[in-house]
Amino acid sequence: MTISHSSLLLFVTGAAILLAIPGPAIMYIVSRSIGQGRAAGLVSAGGIATGTLFHVAAATLGLSALLASSALAFQFVKYVGAAYLIYLGIRTLRSTDAQLVESVAVERKLARIYGQGVLVNVLNPKTALFFLAFLPQFIDTSRGHATLQIAELGVLFALMGWFSDSLWALAAGSLAEHLRRSVRLRRAQRNVSGGALIALGLASAFSGARSK
């Protein structure tokens, strides 16, 4: 890499701390794992990581700076993402108990779940702002082109995020397996999963004004 060892160590440490703090991506993955099992959670984690790569490309090309400088663009992406999460939550709440335990159907829907994960993170302007606020601190133009350094650190962050998110998916999925064995807890499982998605969407929609 073109990044110095000291800067790389600081970046990895800071990124690990940030990734350990539960946020929108983790809440989404946990809700999917609880609602549809570990496979769905792991696929969601992969979708979130792919969405992060879109932000990496945007940051590399300078599009994130455009989003951050435009209040209208920021608000548009913010509300579209929030509405999508609420839609997913309502659809989960309206699903039947049979759908919750139909593992074959879940397997057929993994591609859709992956795409939803990608879209959830692509429509998360906080991810773009993270790259604008965090990555520039570790860029050293004396060691090479800044664009290459941004791309390298962005991909590294996406891989770290995928690994940590997968751990959350496995843990939540294991809990879901226990819930699925009890008929009485199926409705609670569905309500927790759908409610978490709706709450996440509302929190995103009504979060405070952005800061520059």
Residue 96: predicted pLDDT: 60
What does the mean pLDDT of the chain come to? 76
Confidence of residue 103 (pLDDT cuts 50, 70, 90): very low
**Extents of the domains making up the chain:** 25-205
Mean pLDDT computed over 101-115: 65
Mean pLDDT computed over 92-111: 59
pTM above 0.85, yes or no: no
Asked whether residue 116 carries a pLDDT value surpassing 70, the answer given is yes
Summarised one tens digit per residue, pLDDT across range 13-63 is 878 877 776 667 787 888 888 878 888 899 999 999 999 999 898 888 876
Mean pLDDT computed over 76-101: 71
Distance CA 151, CA 157 (A): 10
Residue 30: C-alpha distances to residues 35, 59, 193, 198, 205 (Å):
8, 27, 8, 13, 20
Of 11, 9, 50, 48, which Cα lies nearest the Cα of 31? 48
